[in-house]
Amino acid sequence: MRFNQSGGYLSITGVTDWDAYDTVFRVVTDGRQFFYPQDSIKATASASADGFPASNLVDGSYLNWWDAARTVPVSIDLDLGERKPVSYLAINQREWSPTHNRQTFGRQEDSTRIKDYRVSVSDDGVHWGDPVRTGTMPSARGVQFIDIGRHLTRYIRLEILSSWGPPSVPNFFNKVAIDELYVAHGYPFRAAVEGDDFAA
């Protein structure tokens, strides 16, 4: 089937007669591309809750996570072992909070996700220079990506400057936690195939 992919949506093209109940599509992907193996990365953080160290970010299991111990701002340093090309970060945060402020089950809830952040790179882990990316991460489910452009570096620092939950909702304030953190060295692409009028 021909398809387009953009903005987190996959649109199948060329279908004019949909069966509202029995149309089923099977999607086969090539898997994750252009990520460094997590066991080749060392992660440390300026703060961690007991039993939830930064090493959990790169242990290959979403069942183990890093907890910032309600410390925001907080920073995570990634050591690639040697200078390597990097292009973006993929961050999988804990999915235990809603994406927005709401009242449910008789209590106020809010997002615990990362809000404002900045990313810096360094060759020695001491001298960082100006951030290569600053921004606001959406309060949304699923993996979030931070495109930092192409750099050749050994160390990457992610600084979490704020979270979405306000102090007025204390159970959700500054409770930042991340399951997994990936470092990419290239951008995904799909080679054009015969009959395509586009290449993603």
Q: Which domain holds residue 176?
A: 38-184
User: Is 59 within a domain?
Assistant: yes
Q: Is the pLDDT of residue 83 over 50?
A: yes
User: Is 114 within a domain?
Assistant: yes
pLDDT by residue (tens digit) across 146-165? Answer: 999 999 999 999 999 999 99
User: Is 30 within a domain?
Assistant: no
User: Is 68 within a domain?
Assistant: yes
Strands 74-93 and 107-109, sheet pairing = unpaired
Its pTM surpasses 0.85: no
User: Is 26 within a domain?
Assistant: no
pLDDT of residue 198: 42
129 HSE (CA, 13 A, CB side): 10
User: Is 194 within a domain?
Assistant: no
pLDDT by residue (tens digit) across 36-81? Answer: 999 999 999 999 999 999 999 999 999 999 999 999 999 999 999 9
Distance CA 178, CA 95 (A): 9
CATH code, 163: 2.60.120.260
Q: What domain count does the chain have?
A: 1
Cα separations in angstroms, 99 against 62, 65, 113, 128: 20, 19, 8, 32
SS3 22: coil
User: Is 29 within a domain?
Assistant: no
Per mean pLDDT, which of 82-91, 96-105, 179-188 is the most reliable? 82-91
User: Is 192 within a domain?
Assistant: no
